[in-house]
A and B are shown apart, each in its own frame.
Chain A
Amino acid sequence: MTKNINENLVAMQRAHGPLLEVKDLAIDFTTDDKRAVHAVRSASFSVYPGQWVAIVGESGSGKSTSAMAVLGLLPGTGHVVGGSIKLDGQELTGLKQKDFDKLRGSRMGLVPQDPMSNLNPVWRIGTQVQESLKANGMDVAHEKRSALAKALAGAEVEVRGKDDETFLGSDKLPALMDAAKTALQEAGVSGEAYDQALAEFERDWVPGSETRWRVADSLVKAGLDEDKAWDIAKRYVTGSTMDDRIAGLLAEAGLPDAATRARQYPHEFSGGMRQRALIAIGLACRPDLLIADEPTSALDVTVQKKILDHLHMLTDELGTAVLFITHDLGLAAERAQHIVVMYKGQVVESGPSLEVLQHPQHPYTKRLVAAAPSLASQRIISAKERGQDAASLMEHHVVGEEKLEKSENIITVEHLTREFKLPRKKEMFKAVDDVSFSVKRGTTLAIVGESGSGKSTVANMVLKLLEPTSGKALYEGKDIASFKGKELLDFRRHVQPVFQNPYGSLDPMYSIFRSIEEPLRIHGIGDKTSRRKRVRELLDMVEMPESVMGRYPNELSGGQRQRIAIARAMALDPDVIVCDEAVSALDVLVQDQVLRLLNDLQAERGLSYLFITHDLAVVRQIADEVVVMQHGKLVEHATTDEVFDHPKMQYTRDLLDAIPGGKLQLGLD
């Protein structure tokens, strides 16, 4: 059955021809000194109507640039220098911005990457949705249509087709409900069927979103005859007001209580809600093609799953094609039927999703598949096995196992609680609520949770950057909060952090040498020459060339900076490293490299890691034990394999389910 539908869909798509056809696209950026930088070279891909196509690549691969060229929104000095972009046969290269204005919104929609900065903070959400309708003349059309529909209500004209025709208005909803109830009773529908039908009406009849023919359809489904159903639909579904339509669009995007929400401002929305609003805006004018530029990369995995599920449903219903840009191969494979892999401005591979995953041809795709944590997590049994030959692997594994059993706890957290005072509120907010766990020497404990789960607060208390409200964090059996003066300095020497943001955690005014040397200086270790030698060793340890010593953080890439941050943390030969989302900001390949590095360092030096992350996929690659946190509370604590194979709590299962591509079958091993 499903197969049939899919085949039909493919046949339909082929018959129609591609909606978007990009051929040999070349894009250049001009630098300050008038040199051309090739951002995209001979890129070709097509999107068929109703299809999801994913462009996958790391940052700087040209994936966003290609998409922006389709929209005519290339930033700054970027311009198309060759090739063609065709939307439904119409050539887009060389179009003027004025011509693009006509296409954007109505033919092509955009869901941008960062929900935090893409909504205007001084306008209500509803106004911003309305703006997109207005910009495409849809508001006039909408009101006009509504007026026309009212006039035609009695006439024998059947309006049926594209579903932005005649919407249900909120003023008519109660009357429609009553009429439906009476009609159903008259038609002899009763008991369970009656209740079920009413429940369905309640759910589906969203003012501003539900159309006349769909109301009629649902009435027919409930058991009314066609004439009666259409009579009711024509009488009561007579067009909606602008406010209804806005609320309807927001409701379609999955925003609960949309009418109230439309009157709120962006700062009253969470990240996920903002992204839903942006989806509503992108789809407001019913474009044929929706370009989603990393729409969920700023969101928690569970929220990401919900939003993409909803977007999938919505675009399927509307028949919208989606060009989905992401750095996550697993996510792309899970969501899209077709994958285009971009690398250094070129399309290196493209094909049906599963085929690309199972039989990657290009070496880059192979590396990407191997590195993708979400995919890897399903086939790597233990993190320690990565990249090591069998002998050392076995050896290490055994040592690891023993350590888990015998070694003492280097960090212990007992009933740790931290409260914060919220502005304008009386009660205290418990960021961390009675959390206990311990990190065994030479192993990795990962704390997993979504943003706001209190995991970073725990890390900060272990690092003595915050004092606990109650409970204790112990290092080698001593209370961390009690450390002062010399003891504190000693503690700092043994417990080192690596922070999330490799752009923020290095002082931009400090050269790489000074940054790495800083901890040695603070602790008064060695003289000038010996410190220089040590910095060289450390750079060697993180596989960075000596030549970077005189450079500055802004001259390095994110992955390189994170290596520097790790080198700095290693400078004092610590026992414990607290990694607070240390790899979250990095591209998959770089993330993989950094994880390997951390793993190797652990094997070499017997380090213990407290690894804070929101990404369960990463956990499997690095951690021995996992602590799952939700709303400040510890919900699950077990070994990594146990958590992955037999999660006890529903929340953990949700988190596991949300790993993109986690359930895909790979033909790799």
Chain B
Amino acid sequence: MWADAWRSLRKNPLFIISGILIIFIVVVALFPGLFTKQDPNYCTLDNSLGDPTAQHPFGFDFQGCDVYTRVVYGTRTSLMVGLASTILVVIIGTLIGSVAGFFGGWVDAVLSRLNDIFLALPILLGAIVVLQMFKTNGSIWKIVLVIALFGWVSTARIARGAVMEAKNLEFNTASTALGSTPVRNLFRHILPNSMAPIIVIGTTSLASYIVLEATLSFLGVGLPSSTVSWGGDISNAQTSLMTNPMVLFYPSAALAITVLSFIMLGDAVKDALDPKSRTA
């Protein structure tokens, strides 16, 4: 199945474009040194809001830091937060959702009410409250955990629905009659058939988690200012928005391109994973 998905992905221009962009973004995140020789935290007020030059193609921000360098170094933070939270959210969400959907009954009732409770909490508000309590610790894992804490809800809902739908399909009965056990059915038939919507919501939420990190950093409860991130830079750029809007533009554009790439990837993967949409 994966080989087929790969074959159909290879032919999808959406996938090729988003794939190239994402590979590029990952390379930037892993080796920022390849793209700039400067230190993102080397800032002199002499350069405050300075115009672009050959060495500093995006110019300088209010603090006199090189905008290009900061965009390059911010990639790693954003990507790490996005990927780590998505993986965590998909694992937790799929686990809770599929258990609820597969077993049904009181297990489903309990898990679904828990789900409803978390759904009632606005993720941004919840994140602010929780992050305020752990202000001292500045690592990105704090943000990842908070996002996972509030983010699993929608994935769990989708996983539950998908599992419930797949559970009633006839091939499960067929498989049981062939000698398969319910748990084997869950892993061999039901989960693979439920993965498509989960992967889609995973890739789209990856984008929204990157945005959420940016939002939290913008609000000042996210990453400490010592960590370079797009969100933090967008937040800082607001002071100079009127005088030099380009300072805001570059980190925002980087964020937008990254988010867009992942959404496109999600769409392409969805098409490829759904054999019904595949033509013979």
> Which A positions have Cβ atoms within 8 angstroms of B?
463, 465, 488-489, 492-493, 496-497, 499, 501, 504-511, 518-519, 522-523, 551-552, 554-555, 565, 568, 572
6 interchain residue pairs of minimum CB distance? A504-B170, A492-B179, A555-B280, A507-B171, A497-B177, A519-B178
A-B CB contact pairs (8 Å), 20 listed: A463-B177, A465-B173, A465-B177, A497-B174, A499-B173, A504-B169, A504-B170, A504-B171, A505-B170, A505-B171, A507-B171, A507-B193, A510-B1, A518-B175, A519-B178, A523-B179, A552-B4, A552-B278, A554-B276, A554-B278
B264-280: which residues lie under 8 A (CB-CB) from chain A?
Answer: 275-276, 278, 280
Given contacts A465-B177, A492-B178, A551-B280, contact A508 B275 (CB under 8 A): yes
> Does B225 sit within 8 A of A, measured CB to CB?
no
The answer for the CA separation of A492 and B170 in the assembled complex, in Å, is 17
B240-280: which residues lie under 8 A (CB-CB) from chain A?
Answer: 275-276, 278, 280
B151-201: which residues lie under 8 A (CB-CB) from chain A?
Answer: 169-171, 173-180, 184, 189, 192-193
Chain B residues, Cβ within 8 Å of A465: 173, 176-177
A568 touches B178 (CB 8 A): yes
A509 touches B193 (CB 8 A): yes
A525 to chain B, nearest CB (A): 11
B189 touches A507 (CB 8 A): yes
The answer for the CA separation of A488 and B275 in the assembled complex, in Å, is 33
Nearest residue (CB) in B for A522 is B179
Nearest residue (CB) in B for A31 is B279
Given contacts A465-B176, A518-B178, A523-B179, contact A508 B193 (CB under 8 A): yes
A193 to chain B, nearest CB (A): 61
B115 to chain A, nearest CB (A): 25
Chain A residues, Cβ within 8 Å of B171: 504-507
The answer for the CA separation of A551 and B170 in the assembled complex, in Å, is 20
The answer for the CA separation of A493 and B192 in the assembled complex, in Å, is 25
B180 touches A508 (CB 8 A): no
B4-20: which residues lie under 8 A (CB-CB) from chain A?
Answer: 4
Chain A residues, Cβ within 8 Å of B192: 507, 509
B275 touches A522 (CB 8 A): no
B169 touches A509 (CB 8 A): no
Given contacts A551-B280, A552-B4, A555-B280, contact A496 B193 (CB under 8 A): no
Taking A493-B179, A511-B4 as known contacts, 20 extra A-B pairs with beta carbons closer than 8 A to each other, sorted by chain A number, are A463-B177, A465-B173, A465-B177, A492-B179, A496-B177, A499-B170, A504-B170, A505-B173, A507-B175, A507-B193, A509-B1, A509-B193, A509-B275, A510-B1, A518-B178, A518-B180, A519-B179, A554-B275, A555-B280, A568-B178
Chain B residues, Cβ within 8 Å of A496: 177-178
Chain A residues, Cβ within 8 Å of B178: 492, 496, 518-519, 522, 568, 572
The answer for the CA separation of A493 and B1 in the assembled complex, in Å, is 27
Interface string of B189-229 (1 = CB under 8 A from A): 10011000000000000000000000000000000000000
Given contacts A492-B179, A555-B280, contact A499 B1 (CB under 8 A): no
The answer for the CA separation of A492 and B174 in the assembled complex, in Å, is 11
The answer for the CA separation of A623 and B228 in the assembled complex, in Å, is 77
The answer for the CA separation of A496 and B193 in the assembled complex, in Å, is 24
Chain B residues, Cβ within 8 Å of A565: 174
B90 to chain A, nearest CB (A): 18
Interface secondary structure of A, over-half rule: loop
The answer for the CA separation of A522 and B177 in the assembled complex, in Å, is 11
Most buried by B among A465, A497, A507, A572: A507
Interface string of B119-142 (1 = CB under 8 A from A): 000000000000000000000000
Nearest residue (CB) in B for A460 is B173
Most buried by B among A497, A501, A509: A509
The answer for the CA separation of A572 and B178 in the assembled complex, in Å, is 9
A252 to chain B, nearest CB (A): 39
Nearest residue (CB) in B for A518 is B178
Chain B residues, Cβ within 8 Å of A493: 179
A511 touches B1 (CB 8 A): yes
B175 to chain A, nearest CB (A): 7
Nearest residue (CB) in A for B181 is A522
Q: Which of A505, A551, A555 contacts B174 (CB 8 A)?
A: A505
B81 to chain A, nearest CB (A): 32
The answer for the CA separation of A510 and B166 in the assembled complex, in Å, is 14
Chain B residues, Cβ within 8 Å of A488: 179
Chain B residues, Cβ within 8 Å of A523: 179
Most buried by B among A488, A518, A572: A518
Chain B residues, Cβ within 8 Å of A497: 174, 177
Chain B residues, Cβ within 8 Å of A522: 178-180, 184
A172 to chain B, nearest CB (A): 53
The answer for the CA separation of A518 and B1 in the assembled complex, in Å, is 15
Chain A residues, Cβ within 8 Å of B276: 508, 554
The answer for the CA separation of A496 and B169 in the assembled complex, in Å, is 18
B233 to chain A, nearest CB (A): 43
The answer for the CA separation of A463 and B170 in the assembled complex, in Å, is 14
Chain A residues, Cβ within 8 Å of B193: 507-509
Chain A residues, Cβ within 8 Å of B280: 551, 554-555
B155 to chain A, nearest CB (A): 20
B96 to chain A, nearest CB (A): 23
Nearest residue (CB) in A for B277 is A554
Nearest residue (CB) in A for B191 is A509
The answer for the CA separation of A519 and B189 in the assembled complex, in Å, is 13
B177 touches A501 (CB 8 A): no
Most buried by A among B4, B169, B176, B179: B179
Chain B residues, Cβ within 8 Å of A506: 171, 174
The answer for the CA separation of A493 and B174 in the assembled complex, in Å, is 13
B185 to chain A, nearest CB (A): 10
A84 to chain B, nearest CB (A): 34
Chain B residues, Cβ within 8 Å of A510: 1
The answer for the CA separation of A496 and B176 in the assembled complex, in Å, is 10
The answer for the CA separation of A519 and B179 in the assembled complex, in Å, is 7
The answer for the CA separation of A307 and B71 in the assembled complex, in Å, is 73
A549 to chain B, nearest CB (A): 13
Most buried by A among B275, B278, B280: B275
Chain A residues, Cβ within 8 Å of B4: 511, 552
Q: Which of B174, B180, B184 contacts A499 (CB 8 A)?
A: B174
Chain A residues, Cβ within 8 Å of B173: 465, 499, 505
Nearest residue (CB) in A for B1 is A509
A552 touches B176 (CB 8 A): no
Nearest residue (CB) in A for B280 is A555
The answer for the CA separation of A518 and B175 in the assembled complex, in Å, is 8
A536 to chain B, nearest CB (A): 19
The answer for the CA separation of A554 and B175 in the assembled complex, in Å, is 18
Chain A residues, Cβ within 8 Å of B177: 463, 465, 492, 496-497
Nearest residue (CB) in B for A510 is B1
Nearest residue (CB) in B for A511 is B1
Chain B residues, Cβ within 8 Å of A505: 170-171, 173-174
Chain B residues, Cβ within 8 Å of A501: 170
Chain A residues, Cβ within 8 Å of B170: 499, 501, 504-505
Chain A residues, Cβ within 8 Å of B179: 488-489, 492-493, 519, 522-523
B270 to chain A, nearest CB (A): 14
Nearest residue (CB) in A for B274 is A508
The answer for the CA separation of A551 and B280 in the assembled complex, in Å, is 8
The answer for the CA separation of A509 and B191 in the assembled complex, in Å, is 11
Chain A residues, Cβ within 8 Å of B1: 509-511
Most buried by A among B171, B184, B276, B278: B171
The answer for the CA separation of A493 and B177 in the assembled complex, in Å, is 9
Nearest residue (CB) in B for A504 is B170
B192 to chain A, nearest CB (A): 5
The answer for the CA separation of A150 and B171 in the assembled complex, in Å, is 63
